[in-house]
Amino acid sequence: MKYLLLTIGTRGDAEPFLAIGDLLQQASHEVIIALPEQLCPLAEDTGLPFEALDRRFLELLEGETARNFMGQKGSAISRIAQLIKLSRQSMSVQDNMILEQRDLLLKHQPDRVVYHPKCLVARAWGIANKGQSVGISPIPNWLHPVREYPHIAISKNLGTRGNLLTYQFINWVTALMSARFIKPFRQDFSGTSLNRRAIANYMKNQERMLYLISPSLFPRPDYWPEQAKVLGYFERTKTNSWEPEPELVRFIDRFAAEDITFITFGSMVNARPEATTDNIVNVLTRLGIPAIINTSSGGLLKREGTADHIHFVNNIPYEWIFPQVHSVVHHGGSGTTHTATRHGCPSLVFPHIVDQFFWNERVADLGLGPKGVKIKRLSEELFERLLLDLRGNKDYQSKAQSFQKTMRSEGKTDTLLEELSR
């Protein structure tokens, strides 16, 4: 069977699709994955045939406006202005990415399309080709309502009624935007109604959505429709062509007995990386806590002349480092939260955007670590208090190790492949 995998967004959006592509290819299916140009080396490393999508999408996220928005710089009013500016900047990029996705669907003529919910033209293809598409969400609270939490785009809990209304509103806007972007290509889906009402009805009553999330961390609500499923967390092997630097190995050998804390903000950027890094380094230096800091996409920066119990790395595979550390300080991405818990590491989350606020709540609610604060509020005083709690509270580690055992039995490959081939 021929599969076309479509995903847009950051690395966290791409990784589940890379894992799926790897599993499908191992099962002797033909697979093509389309993802932003900057992430194509990941597909190459996985051994998947790939198509590059417009690189400007990620460039927008790395620009000053996005950096200020994700770093919560300024007042609420200024952040609304930042969001409006981002939306305007993204319109031409979105138009081009819709065209790219449409051209790939016509070019490859797949038997099945597996897509991220942000890939609007894939949803239209699914309406026109019933039963041949499936959405993949790496985060909860997206399409299907959850009473206890608002839509993932809303960071404030509004109570049961208010939370449910956020899903109705955002799904309505999504259907409206889908109809607008797809309108120039309706001739490709002749005989198919693709107005806002038809798309909204499909999203609510027919669209298959597989949430690749641990049911231990997010149990499937029993009031969800049958086509919405929580299948567990899947990740690909990222160490096939990676070897640790000798300095890193020596650092771990030297400090492992003292319990290392790993600190990373993954692919997130923020408005003041220098100050954020200095706050963290100052606390680590003062307390003498051994730590590995991952600079990755620039949310944290390498500092020269730091104490010898602080080591800097860049883009290190989490599956390799997490089993060797005591705890993890991170941004609250779904993949990072899952991987940390899967390896028995307590978490301290400093959320930047979207689902990270949800995972911060879940980590605290499940007893996997203290409740963090949004990145804008990270100060020396707060970081010191929360870090000491993360490392000193034995209940966090005990709970993380309990979840580690449970998560080992989740994420059945056969079940995922069966759902993808239905």
10-54 tens-digit pLDDT = 888 899 999 999 999 999 999 999 999 989 999 998 999 999 998
Residue 241 falls inside a structural domain: no
Angle CA(330)–CA(338)–CA(253) in degrees, nearest 5?
65
Helix 120-128 / helix 159-182 crossing angle, nearest 10 deg: 80
pLDDT digits (tens, 9 = 90+) for 103-130: 999 999 999 999 999 888 899 999 999 8
In degrees and rounded to multiples of 5, residue 75 shows phi and psi of -75, 175
Interacting residues of 149 by C-beta distance below 8 A, sequence separation 6+ = 140, 141, 157, 163, 358, 361
Q: What is the DSSP letter of 216?
A: T
Residue, of 283 and 68, whose pLDDT is higher: 283
Q: What is the mean pLDDT of the chain?
A: 89
pLDDT in the model for residue 189: 84
Residue 111 falls inside a structural domain: yes
285 and 209, same domain (yes or no): no
In degrees and rounded to multiples of 5, residue 373 shows phi and psi of -125, 160
255 and 339, same domain (yes or no): yes
pLDDT in the model for residue 125: 92
104 and 197, same domain (yes or no): yes
* CATH number where 346 lies: 3.40.50.2000
Instruction: Strand 2-6: give its sheet, edge to edge.
Output: 50-53, 30-36, 2-6, 112-115, 133-137, 209-211, 228-230
Asked if residue 77 has pLDDT above 60, the reply is no
Residue 50 falls inside a structural domain: yes
Rounded to whole angstroms, the Cα distance separating 155 from 353 reads: 8
Q: Which residues are bridge partners to 133 per DSSP?
A: 113
The number of domains in the chain is 2
User: Residue 62: which pLDDT band, with cuts at 50, 70 and 90?
Assistant: low
From residue 253, alpha-carbon distances to 259, 293, 370, 391 in Å are 11, 16, 28, 19
Q: What percentage of residues in the chain have a pLDDT greater than 90?
A: 66
User: Residue 155: which pLDDT band, with cuts at 50, 70 and 90?
Assistant: confident
pLDDT in the model for residue 85: 57
Range of the structural domain that residue 327 is part of: 246-407
pLDDT digits (tens, 9 = 90+) for 297-344: 778 999 999 999 999 999 899 999 999 999 999 999 999 999 999 999
Collapse the DSSP code of 7 into the 3-class scheme (helix H, G, I; strand E, B; otherwise coil) and give the result.
coil
Q: Which residues are bridge partners to 85 per DSSP?
A: none
Decide if 206 contacts 227 (C-beta within 8 A). Answer: yes
Q: What percentage of residues in the chain have a pLDDT greater than 70?
A: 92
Rounded to whole angstroms, the Cα distance separating 67 from 85 reads: 12
Asked if residue 60 has pLDDT above 60, the reply is yes
The upper half-sphere exposure of residue 25, i.e. CA atoms within 13 Å in the direction of its Cβ, equals 18
Q: For the chain, what's the residue count?
A: 422
pLDDT in the model for residue 45: 87
252 and 314, same domain (yes or no): yes
Decide if 142 contacts 149 (C-beta within 8 A). Answer: no
415 and 379, same domain (yes or no): no
Q: How many other β-carbons are positioned within 10 Å of the β-carbon of residue 317?
A: 14
Can you give the pTM of this predicted structure? 0.89
Decide if 132 contacts 79 (C-beta within 8 A). Answer: no
User: Residue 183: which pLDDT band, with cuts at 50, 70 and 90?
Assistant: confident
pLDDT digits (tens, 9 = 90+) for 207-221: 999 999 999 999 999
User: Residue 278: which pLDDT band, with cuts at 50, 70 and 90?
Assistant: very high
The helix (run of H) or strand (run of E) holding residue 34 is strand 30-36
Residue 196 falls inside a structural domain: yes
Asked if residue 260 has pLDDT above 90, the reply is yes
166 and 136, same domain (yes or no): yes
266 and 388, same domain (yes or no): yes
Task: Read off the pLDDT of each residue in 337-365 and give the average, rounded to a whole number.
Answer: 94
